[in-house]
Amino acid sequence: MIRSVLLVDDDDDLRVIGEMALANVGGFEVRCASSGDEALTLLRDHTPDVILLDVMMPGLDGPALYARLREDTRTASIPVIFMTAKVRAHERQAFEDLGANGVIAKPFDPMTLADQVRALLA
């Protein structure tokens, strides 16, 4: 059962909308990070049930952060769902080949975001 989500996205508006959608519609406890480095800092003290991870971010981007998560025994088993505007079949397949639990297209529908997360982890 999903109780907590870490949303990692460098876009302020998407973080605010995503947090409201996941908390208010989905009933999840939500923490947000605006960068890969901030996410790593949050993960030192908090282990979410799932991480929603933006693909394109300055500095430590989504795929690079994903690789770091998989190298650390504390975070290696946390499910990760990538969020991206690039959702062509071959791009989606590349993320799934990395081991991601799925891909959610951006912009997302705030009313269905929590259900999408649940469905990808079912």
Give me the numbers of helices (H) and strands (E) for the chain, helices first please: 5, 5
pLDDT per residue as tens, the chain (122 positions)? 899 999 999 999 999 999 999 999 999 999 999 999 999 999 999 999 999 999 999 999 999 999 999 999 999 999 999 999 877 777 777 888 888 999 999 999 999 999 999 999 99
Q: Where are the alpha helices (DSSP H) in 12-88?
A: 12-20, 36-43, 62-71
Distance set, CA 117 to CA 20, 81, 89, 94 (Å): 14, 8, 19, 19
77/95 Cα distance (integer angstroms): 16
Q: Where are the alpha helices (DSSP H) in 9-112?
A: 12-20, 36-43, 62-71, 89-98
CATH at 82: 3.40.50.2300
The total number of structural domains that make up the chain: 1
pTM: 0.94
Q: 103 lies in which domain range?
A: 4-121
